Amino acid sequence: MESHRAHVGLFRRILNSTSIQQTIQNSYVIIIILMILAPVVSLSFSWFQTVRYDRMITNVNRTNRVNQIVQMDITNELWDIVAGNKTFSEGEQYEIIDDINNRLQQIKLNTGVTESRQLLEVTGRAMNTLSQYVDRLGLQMEHHFLVTENEKILDEIRGVTELVSDILQDFIVLEIELAAETNEQIKSTAVLLSILQILLVLVVMLFAIHTQKSVSRRINNPIKELEKLSNEIAAGNLDARAEKPHVEELDTLTENLNTMARKIHELIDINIQEQKNLQKSEMRALQAQISPHFLYNTLDTIVWLAEGHQHDQVISVTRNFSNFFRASLNRGKEWVTVRDEFEHISNYLTIQKIRYRDILDYSIDYDTTMDNEPMLKLLLQPLVENALYHGIKNKRGRGTLMVKGWQEAQFLCFQVEDNGIGMTASKLEQIRSQIQADLESSQINDVYGLYNVNKRLSLYYTNFTQLEITSTYGEGTKVLFKLPKRENHV
């Protein structure tokens, strides 16, 4: 209180000075001090927050890159080794692990938050576990273990990489939360700096009343616009922009805020598109993995038909087999006509009918007015395969598989139905849950076909285009999906 009274008394003595020149000089000194103080505080705060914010963004970018390496490079390299594309000694798995550890160490050196450092330490321990699994894989391959044993270790390695990825995602989320806290601090300090500038204006107004309106209009209004812009950005409206106030001190700030909002918007759009492209690429890779059992079994069928001198059936199976793979490849195109998709199913079931003639009957029935409608390829075949191997084969006696297609308003409807073993209510609920989740490779086996189709439906159509599965144990299963019609035809 005494200090406040002393400062008030000092201002009164300065303003009531008998010397106009001295009053002006003293006022100029106060104004200069205030004008210097505000930029110094602002620059100091901006520099400190910029360094802190830059460190967080750098950590997020680096961690995101490490996460990509963990998810893709390690498992791909080890898969090539297990698949026999290269030997263990030729692989670069240890170089990749060392690169990840070095990157994690750099991120840790750039991290000052205890919780974030703890997450990185947990990640380091997980990487040590990963190295141990890689060592075990090397020993198994050196002693010529069975491929299935090597694949088990590979599944364990994938599980560890998923764990590492989850921890890194937690680290990224934590860093983003810290960045959000920093943003709140920036806004709070911006309010204080605004108050400081308003006080400065009030002091200046004591000596320049005639400039009051113009100064208020040129400073207060732009500040309100910038405050409004910052609130819009904080609320998530990245399309918000502020007009240049034509005030030298605020033009650059306004331009930078507009640029920041635009760049954030662009980066978010790019990241979303990259994630979609990545998922589509993963789906294409999964789609390309035609079941080797089907390939081997079909070739075996052709052999025993030829040995039995059943030449007509050899020709039929071979022709259908060729047409099946021609439709699967489709010259790299993702879209086919409904007619082509049903012809693809017909080729597949013709082959399977010869192999499973004692247990399989099938029917294909669809509205031929749909023939030229475009649809994503290879949606029905995985469902038919799933119905055959998990429904009819597990049933005693003969089974029937029915594939249907019809139109409802602006939708193309498809259904695969079997009278196989069916599923219990709990098993059905588990299947529905699994095909909606992001699964590890070890969990995909039983629901691979359903998962693949459901994922591709949501990626290429909408999130609401999904499989509808109904089943009763001992009676059979129905799988239905509806596709919105596309304007452009294949």
List C-alpha distances in Å: 331 to 324, 379, 489.
13, 17, 17
Nearest to 74 by CA among 55, 44, 100: 100
What integer pLDDT is reported at residue 280 of this predicted model? 59
What integer pLDDT is reported at residue 227 of this predicted model? 75
Positive or negative: CA dihedral 350, 354, 356, 362: positive
Domain boundaries, the chain: 11-286, 294-484
pLDDT tens, position by position, 422-450? 999 999 999 998 888 765 544 556 677 78
What integer pLDDT is reported at residue 488 of this predicted model? 59
* 3-state class (DSSP) for residue 251: helix
Burial class (CB in 10 A: 0-12, 13-18, 19+), 127: buried
List C-alpha distances in Å: 393 to 388, 450, 469.
6, 17, 19
Query: 294-484, which class in CATH?
Result: alpha beta
* 3-state class (DSSP) for residue 102: helix
Please give the chain's pLDDT, 490 residues, in tens: 454 454 444 544 544 433 334 444 555 566 666 666 666 766 676 677 777 777 777 878 888 888 888 878 888 888 888 887 888 888 888 888 888 889 888 888 888 778 888 888 888 888 888 888 888 888 888 888 887 887 888 888 888 888 888 888 888 888 788 877 877 776 777 777 777 667 766 666 664 554 445 545 556 676 777 677 777 777 777 677 777 766 665 667 777 777 877 787 777 777 676 566 545 545 554 454 455 556 656 666 666 666 666 667 677 667 666 666 665 555 557 788 999 899 989 988 988 888 888 889 999 999 999 999 999 888 998 899 889 988 998 888 889 999 999 999 889 999 999 999 999 999 999 999 888 876 554 455 667 778 888 888 888 887 778 899 999 999 999 999 999 988 654 5
Q: Which helix (H) or strand (E) holds 63?
A: helix 20-68
Burial class (CB in 10 A: 0-12, 13-18, 19+), 34: middle
What integer pLDDT is reported at residue 70 of this predicted model? 81
| Amino acid, single-letter form, for residue 363 | S
**Cβ neighbours for 257, distance < 8 A, ≥ 6 positions apart:** 226, 229, 230, 233, 242
What integer pLDDT is reported at residue 19 of this predicted model? 35
Nearest to 96 by CA among 114, 74, 80: 74
| Amino acid, single-letter form, for residue 199 | L
pTM above 0.75, yes or no: no
**Cβ neighbours for 413, distance < 8 A, ≥ 6 positions apart:** 405, 406, 407, 480, 481, 482, 483
- Looking at residue 488, the DSSP 8-state letter turns out to be S
Nearest to 52 by CA among 173, 170, 181: 181
